[in-house]
Structure 1
């Protein structure tokens, strides 16, 4: 039988677990590493003198932020030597009308790609300040830096994100409509319909991680990208014939996306970035099997909580 205090401590941790995953995932960009950081946070929480913890939420956030920072620093070298473009690990999400645009934007593939350009400290500070609304003082305690250092990191991160990630407000219904039209055009091999949905300078990023064959460099331009997707319905992909593949619409990283599956596994995901007119400006195609486990598990994560 679990002692009452231990059961209560488990309940406290379980209550904050979605927040801890949300922080770790945005800092790390991979679901597997985020889950590991949360598990390590549980070990530290279990070993701590919890009678001295006045604010469990702040305490747990501080633990998971530091753990995520450590993991990110060690992961940087692997990402720098990655085969082909490195994209974040996609996750299924379950947004609703109560979720804010900021929550959806902060977990989008495009934003996570931009966050990769920040230093580990800048990334952690940006996530805690801009997404979760922590004060500079709270963040300083969480990442074990001075408040002045945190303010500087926050300013640098904000400027860099603003420069690389102009914000376009495209409502979810419009995003879904364009995604559904793309889905129909791609599965039907309709190049002209695809061209209508794509920005002239659209960029396709493909991540196979050296495990499956993908484009080693970004594919640019509406004609080239449209031809790429129009061919999908007519050729074998990863050795799987079109008749043996299934494509489904799903909410991925806060927006509409597409999941491609074989009878025995998930083989790829697509997510999209849109301009102010609702045209597709970027497509992120993740096919590295090591990055598709979270999608295959089928667990949908909330965009928040704050």
Structure 2
């Protein structure tokens, strides 16, 4: 890859890094796992021919979603041997807003516990649709399903989440 292409890939990745991190973190519940997914996303992204990519943001979200799904599947297999409850890692952003962080952490914890009951694909669809308002066609491409199947998965995931809301 030429230096110019590497620079363009780097610019695009950096421009969307916060979004990609948030997608991975919301799906995985761990900042460390989200960072690992971003590393894997970067390694795949630098191999892509940018001339062939119509929408860099969508392409990067697709790579991140697929990498997160792979990580979730691996974690599910790993967790079967773990005897304790799974809890998401808190993500602290600013120590001087303790009350806001405490509230956000408790809401985030509750959401992550509910999301834990969803399958990896349901979780990916729910997070991309409900949190990031990604359209069904883009989600379908990211999870390798048809848009109709994604709509059904989203409906089922919303029903599962609603059933567990206090």
Deviations for 1:87-131, whole angstroms, at most 9, x for unmatched residues?
01221135xxxxxxxxx59x7111011100000110000000000
**2:144 aligned with 1:144, yes or no?**
yes
Bigger strand fraction: 1
Report what 2:23 is aligned to: 23
Q: Is the 8 A contact 1:21 1:34 kept in 2?
A: yes
Spell out the pairing of 1:176-187 with structure 2 (5 A cutoff): none
Query: TM-score of the superposition, structure 2-length normalised?
Result: 0.87
Q: Looking at CA atoms only, which structure, 1 or 2, has the larger radius of gyration?
A: 1
- Deviation at residue 5 of structure 1 after TM alignment: 3.2
Report what 2:98 is aligned to: none
Bigger helix fraction: 2
CA distance in 1, matches of 2:113, 2:144: 25
Deviations for 1:240-275, whole angstroms, at most 9, x for unmatched residues?
xxxxxxxxxxxxxxxxxxxxxxxxxxxxxxxxxxxx
Gaps of 5+ in 1: 95-103, 167-306
- Deviation at residue 3 of structure 1 after TM alignment: 2.4
CA distance in 2, matches of 1:145, 1:70: 15
- Deviation at residue 82 of structure 1 after TM alignment: 1.7
Q: Is the 8 A contact 1:140 1:147 kept in 2?
A: yes
Spell out the pairing of 1:137-216 with structure 2 (5 A cutoff): 137-166=137-166
CA distance in 1, matches of 2:7, 2:163: 47
RMSD of aligned Cα (Å): 1.9
CA distance in 1, matches of 2:86, 2:3: 46
Spell out the pairing of 1:257-272 with structure 2 (5 A cutoff): none
CA distance in 2, matches of 1:136, 1:34: 23
Report what 2:101 is aligned to: none
- Deviation at residue 163 of structure 1 after TM alignment: 1.4
Query: TM-score of the superposition, structure 1-length normalised?
Result: 0.48
Q: Is the 8 A contact 1:111 1:165 kept in 2?
A: no
Q: Is the 8 A contact 1:29 1:89 kept in 2?
A: yes
Deviations for 1:11-34, whole angstroms, at most 9, x for unmatched residues?
110110111110011111122111
Q: Is the 8 A contact 1:126 1:158 kept in 2?
A: yes
Deviations for 1:57-95, whole angstroms, at most 9, x for unmatched residues?
00000001011001101110222332322101221135x
Report what 1:6 is aligned to: 6
Count of residues paired in the alignment? 156
Q: Is the 8 A contact 1:115 1:161 kept in 2?
A: yes
CA distance in 2, matches of 1:9, 1:86: 36
Gaps of 5+ in 2: 95-103
CA distance in 2, matches of 1:8, 1:27: 27
Q: Is the 8 A contact 1:28 1:68 kept in 2?
A: yes
